[in-house]
Amino acid sequence: MFTPESNQFTLSLPHWATDQLNSLPAKLSTLEERMEAVLLFAGLNVRHQSGGPFAAGVFSADSGRLVAMGVNRVMPGNCSSAHAEIMALSLAQQRLGSYDLGAPGSDAHQLVVNWCPCAMCFGALLWSGIRSLAISGSGPPLEELTGFDEGPLHPQWREELARRGITLQENILREEAIAQFKTFAASGQPVYNGRQG
Ligand SMILES: [Zn+2]
């Protein structure tokens, strides 16, 4: 039988995230500082075994104020779409009370991620109203190092961002991000791709 409770679901960050968020500076001015914070959360998510090795932050692009941070919650949340970008974008939208992070009168918002978004998250960021994307890298190293399937990202994804007025900055702290994926791969923690094999 269906019940009101069976017709809703909740996703949340792990318990350790709240204190970590409150210990960050209120504003992170440079892209490197923002990516450092994202990498910190990705690393902690692996260390606490609270999800996959991914984190994403939504920042006010100009001031550097952190609006929301997300980490991967697929396995703990029993939700294949609980990627770090979905968590960060959704938390930012709830916090700002708007489905459109680029609504008139709002700050321009930036999404910072510790690798190129997968096929699903690329779609999600297009619909989110985000005005800029900053990533540590893209392409084969992630899949080769970890085995995570990033899906059929469109080969013209950079042009599609540009066409929609979303600026892209790449290779922010790339070596640090790759080093983290190597640590994750060596940890033996699960890679959860659906319908694997
Ligand atoms: Zn994703």
**Is 102 within 8 Å of 109 (Cβ atoms)?**
yes
pLDDT at 194: 64
Return the structure tokens found at 187: 């940890």
Return the structure tokens found at 120: 């699903």
- Spacing, Cα 1 to ligand 1 middle (Å): 32
- Spacing, Cα 179 to ligand 1 middle (Å): 20
In total, the chain counts a number of residues equal to 197
Q: Give me the tens of pLDDT residue by residue for the chain, a chain 197 residues long.
A: 999 999 999 999 999 999 999 999 989 999 999 999 999 999 999 999 999 999 999 999 999 999 999 999 999 999 999 999 999 999 999 999 999 999 999 999 999 999 999 999 999 999 999 999 999 999 988 888 888 888 889 999 999 999 999 999 999 999 999 999 999 999 888 787 765 54
- Spacing, Cα 26 to ligand 1 middle (Å): 27
- Spacing, Cα 85 to ligand 1 middle (Å): 6
pLDDT at 191: 83
Cβ partners under 8 Å of residue 164, min gap 6: 126
pLDDT at 93: 98
- Spacing, Cα 169 to ligand 1 middle (Å): 18
- Spacing, Cα 191 to ligand 1 middle (Å): 14
Among candidates 170, 192, 183, which has minimal Cα distance to 31?
170
The model carries a pTM of 0.95
- Spacing, Cα 165 to ligand 1 middle (Å): 21
**Is 138 within 8 Å of 178 (Cβ atoms)?**
no
- Spacing, Cα 6 to ligand 1 middle (Å): 25
- Spacing, Cα 3 to ligand 1 middle (Å): 30
pLDDT at 141: 87
**Is 20 within 8 Å of 44 (Cβ atoms)?**
yes
CATH class of the 26-187 domain in this structure: alpha beta
**Is 102 within 8 Å of 93 (Cβ atoms)?**
no
**CA–CA dist 136, 143 (Å, integer):** 14
Return the structure tokens found at 22: 């409150």
